[in-house]
Structure 1
Amino acid sequence: MKRPATALLALLLVAPLSFAVSPDVALARSVTTAHLEGVLPDGSAYVIDVPANWNGTVLLYSHGYLPDGVPNPARNAPSDDVRTSLLAAGYAQVGSSYPETGWVVEQALPAQLSALDEFRARFGTARRTIAWGTSMGGMITTGLAERYSQGFDGTVTMCGLEQGAVANWNNSLDTMFAIRTLLAPGSTAPLVRLPDQATALASTVELTTALDAAQATAQGRARIALAAALRNIPAWTNPAQPEPDANDHDTAQRNQFEVLREFLKTGLSWRQEAEEHAGGNMSWNTGADYDRMFAHSAIRQEVEELYARSGLSLRDDLAALASAPRVTADPTAVGYMSRNISFTGRLTMPMVSIHTTGDPLVPVQVEHAYDEAVSDASRSRLLRQAYVHRAGHCTFTAGEMLAAVRTLEGRISTGRWPDTRPATLNRLAAESDPGVTHGYLTYRPAPYPRPFDLPR
């Protein structure tokens, strides 16, 4: 559905941002709307859009993960609707494709900086530069914030992997490990050190077969829920379906089963591709305390209820996880993923981070991990996190995304955070995107199961 841009434009014309305009910006404003596409020296495609009424702000957009073999055009906005609304409001937008698909964080950061350089070469230095991105692009945006802060005035991360790369792959391993241990005992299907896609596919088929068989029994469904709990897969995962009642554990478990089935379908394939970049296995579960992780899980009550009904012993299954042979990591691969990329929390500019509460791919608890890193670095004054009550990964309305941008701009303009309570964010979203239900709410995510912060 197309999102109307008229309200957003009117609002920003009524309350324009106040800043001095450089000669380069003034020149850019005098030209008609520009749409430019090209290729960067690293082979990345880039795309730039500059409106005739450029307001002096440029938004650098980082897109999410694309598996190997899929089309990889340059993107400079989360959606066509958002791009259109922002152009109407006077925002310039730029982004690249990155030089490759897959886990290309190492190449993506310099590609994005090069795309921004291309913009500056064509249109001059913007008065204000904001980085923003979705999913893996949120991780890339956070990387730009922590490592290249001199080039930006602020950042907006949306549904990002804010737990960092090492924590992401560790927790993915936890889930695979639980599925193999509990649903396919005795299986030797490799979970790491996957030499090729054929090996990844063979493991996927074996584990999916076990998952499907388990779903047919009460005992299997309880164990599937336990595997989901180690990843905090939410009860409501599909925005096209109604949210289950709080005590409807059967619907919640069925939703989590479907997510885990897709997780198996893609997880090992993506891991194999990432291991090629890292030069080995970047994950470990030596020392992982699955009892403790379960105790802090957001869906603990569901699991306990399903185990009580199944007749199985939850204590025995947790003991089985504790005693199963563990997986060790390759230090060089861990080092690669630490560089590409894990976080220190040392922000030097304001950041707004938004996440849906029912995200099945990047569970909302990743925000807790980054909040802890920022707090440990004594930079909490620079971070504001907001949550949208909706299922799905990156399923924000255009208005919700634009409200995050406007909130960040208020902080940049005044040096103080504006009101970031849900009612205010929903009002901003409605002003930008009327006629649509917006879902900001008060929310505090549970701890992330396996946080990993770089030494500070």
Structure 2
Amino acid sequence: MPRSTMTCSPRWLTAAALAALAGCAGTTAPSAPAVATAWPTEAAPQPVDCPSGLPAGTRCLGGRDSAGAFYRIAIPADWQGGQGDLVVHAHGGPALGEPKVERVVEDLQRWSVMVRAGYAWVGSSFHQGGVAVLSAAEDTERVRRIFVDHVQQPRRTVLHGQSWGASVAARTAEVYGRLVPGQRPAYDAVLLTSGVLGGGSRSYDFRLDLRVVYQALCHNHPKPDEPPYPLWQGLPEGSTLTRAQLTQRVNDCLGLNKPAGQRSAEQQQKVQTITRTIRIPETAILPHLAWATWHFQDIAQRRTGGAPAFGNLRVRYTGSADDDALNAQVLRYTADAAAIARFSADTDPTGRIDLPMLSVHGIDDATAFVELDNEFARTVARAGRADRLVQTFTRDREHSYLSDAAYATLMQALLRWVDQGDKPTPAGIAAACPALEARFGAGCRFEPGYRPAPLDTRIAPRQSVGERPVGTGKVMAGPAS
């Protein structure tokens, strides 16, 4: 496969800032690039219809920025610049393909609680699809600038990242949220919800595990009569496989479209092997397998120059009826150190964020494991910013949305921290939430005593980045010693 020519840097960085990027410099540790020094002039947003779910009197604006991203702005009827607060939203996903305006309209609808709580809101579709975090961070900062330049300067600005967008928000805060003496900060605080916060180097390893275990059991992705390819590649270039076809293959092998009682004994045994070894519920098998197909294809073809950022050389899979037999069958791959460095430089948070950070995560989230928050806390602590982060957890299994009351409570606590220096606690947030249920509906399920386990207890550990063997993703038969 030809090596990608795509740059891993935001387009407006100076030459010195470009040199600071770890992925371009070939180092293994991610860095926070210097702030962009030049931005193009953006056209003024135009009035657009507000989607349903927003309060009466909301004013909506929209447009397409100079990079090609769509965006939407929503302003409550009584909002006034200098007195009102702004939420800058970084959405999850990531989406693949060209940007679509529907993406950002749906985001505004889903997060209408922010407008109903009195905050102005702005969000970008991001100008390019795929797993490109710094590019999305640049788009996020650009849309904030559009709001400030063409609407009004808010009193406070909260950067909100959801799911994969939490990693975007973290990187945005690192790059564009630095505190400079004598200058007004671009952002005042960060809210991270259901975050994929382990970075690309840690968050996606289990999806390779899913691919190799699934293939050992099902032998149909790829099928025996299809050209073989390394599974870290997702799909080979030029593949025409559709999501409907993948769904059919999974149902043929596992019977996920049937109740457990209607599956064959063989199908049910395979489902149980996957859920126990990968530690995901059966409802999460197909979504993660799809992400390990098309998102892995994007990573291999556009982010790592065709080399593998994921490996499973010494991973031992446990929880099946016969672990020795399973481990003898799974394909083994070595990760490429340069590919890991390049991918990490774009996707891995450094933790070097000086702003107040508040996060929330559902304990039983099967899309982004709650243990990722443990990894992020370790990252922030290594950067010497542990006092800047407060993490909260809820008794939820949902990923995409928890509850209006929970988010309203978190925003209230975060802004009190910024304005009054009153650092919140998980117990205080849990105690404050019920008072907002009358306005925002039931949904207070905070568990103030919960602490997530280390990520290695959820995802089979592998060699550290510095120790991973350099290779080309070569397939190795049988278990590795």
Bin the TM-score by the shorter chain.
Answer: 0.7 to 0.9
Alpha-carbon separation, structure 2, partners of 1:282 and 1:121: 42
What TM-score, normalized by structure 2, do the two folds share? 0.69
User: What is the identity, as a one-letter code, of the residue corresponding to 1:426?
Assistant: C
User: What is the identity, as a one-letter code, of the residue corresponding to 2:343?
Assistant: M
Q: 1:104 to 1:285 in 2, by over 3 A?
A: closer
* Equivalent position to 1:284, from 310, 314, 317: 310
TM-superposed deviation, 1:365: 1.8
Alpha-carbon separation, structure 1, partners of 2:99 and 2:352: 35
Partner of 1:339: 345
Match of 2:122, SS state, is strand
TM-superposed deviation, 1:130: 0.9
Establish whether residue 403 from structure 1 lines up as the match of residue 412 from structure 2.
no
* Equivalent position to 2:96, from 55, 63, 67: 67
Q: 1:419 to 1:429 in 2, by over 3 A?
A: farther
Partner of 2:237: 195
Partner of 1:101: 129
Contact 2:167 2:349 in 1 (8 A): no
Identify the range of structure 1 (424-433 vs 408-417) with the bigger mean alpha-carbon deviation: 424-433
Contact 1:354 1:388 in 2 (8 A): yes
User: What is the identity, as a one-letter code, of the residue corresponding to 1:196?
Assistant: G
Partner of 1:110: 138
Match of 1:125, SS state, is coil
Alpha-carbon separation, structure 2, partners of 1:44 and 1:219: 47
Alpha-carbon separation, structure 1, partners of 2:426 and 2:100: 37
Alpha-carbon separation, structure 1, partners of 2:99 and 2:347: 23
* Equivalent position to 1:373, from 371, 375, 379: 379
Alpha-carbon separation, structure 1, partners of 2:314 and 2:462: 11
TM-superposed deviation, 1:189: 6.0
Match of 2:237, SS state, is coil
Establish whether residue 143 from structure 1 lines up as the match of residue 171 from structure 2.
yes
Partner of 1:169: 204
Contact 1:76 1:93 in 2 (8 A): no
Q: 1:282 to 1:192 in 2, by over 3 A?
A: same
Contact 2:315 2:462 in 1 (8 A): no
Partner of 2:44: none
- The correspondence of residues 221-232 of structure 1 with structure 2, limited to 5 A, is 221=268, 224-232=271-279
Establish whether residue 389 from structure 1 lines up as the match of residue 395 from structure 2.
yes
- The correspondence of residues 257-296 of structure 1 with structure 2, limited to 5 A, is 257-278=282-303, 279-290=305-316
Contact 1:356 1:395 in 2 (8 A): no
Match of 1:374, SS state, is helix
Q: 1:350 to 1:454 in 2, by over 3 A?
A: farther
- The correspondence of residues 210-225 of structure 1 with structure 2, limited to 5 A, is 210-212=253-255, 216=263, 221=268, 224-225=271-272
TM-superposed deviation, 1:220: 5.8
Gapped regions of structure 2 (runs ≥ 5): 1-56, 179-185, 467-481
The number of residue pairs the alignment matches comes to: 380
Alpha-carbon separation, structure 1, partners of 2:116 and 2:322: 59
Q: 1:89 to 1:206 in 2, by over 3 A?
A: closer
Larger helix proportion of the pair: 1
Partner of 2:151: 123
Alpha-carbon separation, structure 2, partners of 1:408 and 1:157: 11
Q: 1:398 to 1:222 in 2, by over 3 A?
A: same
Partner of 1:433: 440
Establish whether residue 53 from structure 1 lines up as the match of residue 64 from structure 2.
no
Q: 1:282 to 1:367 in 2, by over 3 A?
A: farther
User: What is the identity, as a one-letter code, of the residue corresponding to 1:272?
Assistant: Q
User: What is the identity, as a one-letter code, of the residue corresponding to 1:415?
Assistant: G
Q: 1:43 to 1:120 in 2, by over 3 A?
A: same
Establish whether residue 320 from structure 1 lines up as the match of residue 328 from structure 2.
yes
Alpha-carbon separation, structure 1, partners of 2:197 and 2:451: 15
Partner of 1:132: 160
TM-superposed deviation, 1:452: 9.8
Partner of 1:41: 66
Q: 1:366 to 1:375 in 2, by over 3 A?
A: same
Alpha-carbon separation, structure 2, partners of 1:200 and 1:89: 41
Q: 1:80 to 1:451 in 2, by over 3 A?
A: farther
Establish whether residue 443 from structure 1 lines up as the match of residue 443 from structure 2.
no
Alpha-carbon separation, structure 2, partners of 1:337 and 1:350: 27
* Equivalent position to 2:188, from 146, 153, 164: 153
Contact 2:96 2:130 in 1 (8 A): yes
TM-superposed deviation, 1:376: 2.6
* Equivalent position to 1:357, from 351, 356, 363: 363
